[in-house]
Amino acid sequence: MSELLQALAETLEQRKSAAPESSYVASLYAKGLNKILEKVGEEATEVILAAKDAETSGAKDAVTQEMADLWFHCMICLAHLNLSPDDVLKVLAERQGLSGLVEKASRTPSN
């Protein structure tokens, strides 16, 4: 995992024991998975809107800003579920070099 992802994952893990009033991340953990997922959905929508705007305006900075927010909230979701970015990177590594159509067809219903 990149050093940045590792450092962020460690910070997110530490926030699990922080007081909710002292940390945005701790406050999300305290509100539970539904609130975390709500934020992931909100950020995904903002990525979509920024990308649509960027296609017509050429302003791509908003896309990277919103994508950073989405990744951040996805990492909070992973940490909440006791998963790490490494778990996702392992899946991506397993898919490397495979046709997306072949990989998706090979999944079992639980995948």
CATH number for the domain including 40?
1.10.287.1080
Do the domain assignments include residue 96? Answer: no
Do the domain assignments include residue 104? Answer: no
Tens of pLDDT, residue by residue over 20-64, are 999 999 999 999 999 999 999 999 999 999 999 999 898 899 999
Do the domain assignments include residue 106? Answer: no
pLDDT value at 2 more than 90: no
| C-alpha dihedral sign at 40, 41, 46, 52 | positive
Tens of pLDDT, residue by residue over 74-102, are 999 999 999 999 999 999 999 888 676 77
Do the domain assignments include residue 54? Answer: yes
What does the pLDDT average to over 5-25?
A: 96
Question: pTM score > 0.95 for this model?
Answer: no
Helix ranges (DSSP H) in 1-111: 3-15, 24-31, 33-57, 61-80, 85-95, 100-106
Do the domain assignments include residue 82? Answer: yes
Domains of the chain: total: 1
Higher per-residue confidence, 109 vs 55: 55
Higher per-residue confidence, 111 vs 97: 97
What angle (nearest 5°) sits at the alpha carbon of residue 96, between those of residues 91 and 98? 110
Structural domain for 26, as ranges = 3-91
